[in-house]
Amino acid sequence: MAHHIYGKLRTQKKAAAAWLAAPKRLQLLILLRLLMNIALYFRFGVKIVFDSHRYLAYADSLMAGETYWYRADSILYSGYTFFLTAILHLLELPIKSVILIQVLVSGLALICLYSAVYNLTSNRVSSFICSFLYIAWPEIHLWNFYIHTESLYISTSIFILYYLSIKTKSRFDTIACALLFLFVVVLRPNGFFLVIGVIGYLIHRFHERFSQSSKLTFSVITLPFLAYGAYISLEIYSPINSLLQGHAIQGYQDVRINMKPMPSNTAGAGVMQMFYIVADQPVNYIKLLLLRFGYFWGQVRPYYSVIHNATIVVFYLPAYFFALKGFRKILQHPIYTFMLTVMSLQTLMVMALAVDWDNRFMVPLLPYIFVFTSIGLTSSSTYNHVSSVASQTGSIV
């Protein structure tokens, strides 16, 4: 009897896998995503929030020939400034056109995400699972309806993931990816995380081709640029106020660490002031970092409803569990290095600055988490294929 039940369950499992693996399931995913976006639009409409007014002001400044849009703290948003200027001023289209384009680009990103996972695994079940998880979490798609950089940033990060997953890259693919790099580094300040992630990918993939002296030379040339970039970023987008206030979550007063005020005679650059605070009260600083880390990856919030927090826990606990399994499966693949680098840099940024009120700093990482989750949910054959791909060392173009 037990053997009969086990055999029946195995047959049903195979049938379910075959259904998910059918190529036309992508069409179903596209339809589900369309329904999700329609529902969100009728529920929330176009969202113009605090930062939206700043982006719109940048576009107005550009058209007026003013300097507001290319100051030190705004130039790294110029990609979105040009985007808004082209649609709202040059083409003179209504603001809903911005939303429509973001929704369409996000739809193309879904197809690229599905294709990227298939390129990695040759497993349509993995592709379906990853894409379905991406569709099922509304917060990802909600950003399509904001006048904000989030939607285009998420889509661009998926496009780059797709490019890296292609085994044989054409010249057109490489040119398109280079243009994406140029766009994303001025789309928002942390856009260069994706560039650093690709550098990590290239080092992982081609490290065996270079001698130790070449690697050392590359490090000597690259690391000072990265350090200088980090220094300038910390000077422009200083975390000092957030650090002294001890906030774990931006704009929320009830979860904080009591940090001692900095002496009024403390001088020097913002980075040096930050080092002074850390050296003066290391225990409090470590507590603050751990608190921010917990809220960032836990995603729950004290001001969310019980149902909202419970939904997050029920959805993400198994997603994280299988993501860790998938993480281990593709340790040898260079795309692992790309995704891990981007996720690590984003985490460090949040720990330095504070967790965002509405969790938007986590949203760009969710597609990568779902890639790991989908691989963790599939059989060991996925691991074998991914490992074999990692061993290939063809040209990157």
Q: What pLDDT was estimated at residue 7?
A: 54
Could you tell me if residue 88 is inside a domain?
yes
Is 0.85 surpassed by the pTM of this model?
A: yes
Three-state DSSP class for 355? Answer: strand
Regions of the chain short of the pLDDT cut 50 = 4-5, 9, 12, 380-397
Counted domains in the chain? 1
Contacts (Cβ under 8 Å, ≥6 apart) of 245: 256, 259
Could you tell me if residue 396 is inside a domain?
no
Could you tell me if residue 212 is inside a domain?
yes
Q: Which residue has the tokens 């680098």?
A: 341
Q: Which residue has the tokens 């970092």?
A: 289
Q: What pLDDT was estimated at residue 9?
A: 47
Determine the structural domain holding residue 234 and report its residue range: 21-390
Distance between CA atoms of 395 and 397, rounded to whole angstroms?
5
Q: What pLDDT was estimated at residue 23?
A: 58
Q: What pLDDT was estimated at residue 3?
A: 53
CA angle, 243 then 246 then 249, to 5°: 100
Could you tell me if residue 311 is inside a domain?
yes
**Distance set, CA 71 to CA 62, 67, 266 (Å):** 12, 7, 27
DSSP 8-class letter at 144: G
Could you tell me if residue 395 is inside a domain?
no
Q: Is the dihedral of CA 19, 330, 201, 228 positive or negative?
A: positive
Q: What pLDDT was estimated at residue 18?
A: 55
Q: What pLDDT was estimated at residue 384?
A: 42
CB-CB contact of 285 with 277 (8 Å)? yes
CB-CB contact of 54 with 64 (8 Å)? no
Q: What is the chain's Cα-based Rg?
A: 23
Three-state DSSP class for 256? Answer: strand
Instruction: Tell me the backbone φ, ψ of residue 68, rounded to 5 degrees.
Output: -55, -35
Distance between CA atoms of 44 and 248, rounded to whole angstroms?
28
Q: What pLDDT was estimated at residue 393?
A: 38
DSSP 8-class letter at 86: I
**Distance set, CA 299 to CA 50, 133, 293, 317, 357 (Å):** 22, 16, 10, 11, 10
Which helix (H) or strand (E) segment is 347 a member of?
helix 334-353
Distance between CA atoms of 111 and 159, rounded to whole angstroms?
10
Distance between CA atoms of 7 and 121, rounded to whole angstroms?
27
Centre a 10 Å sphere on the Cβ of residue 80 and count the other Cβ atoms it contains.
Answer: 22
Could you tell me if residue 81 is inside a domain?
yes
Instruction: Tell me the backbone φ, ψ of residue 43, rounded to 5 degrees.
Output: -85, -40
DSSP 8-class letter at 249: B
Q: What pLDDT was estimated at residue 1?
A: 53
Q: What pLDDT was estimated at residue 265?
A: 60
Q: What pLDDT was estimated at residue 394?
A: 37
Q: Record the tokens describing residue 8, joined without a space.
A: 């029946």
Could you tell me if residue 4 is inside a domain?
no
Could you tell me if residue 192 is inside a domain?
yes
pLDDT tens-place string over residues 264-311? 666 566 677 778 888 888 899 999 999 999 999 999 999 999 999 999
Adjacent-strand bridge partners of 249 = 355
CB-CB contact of 181 with 318 (8 Å)? no
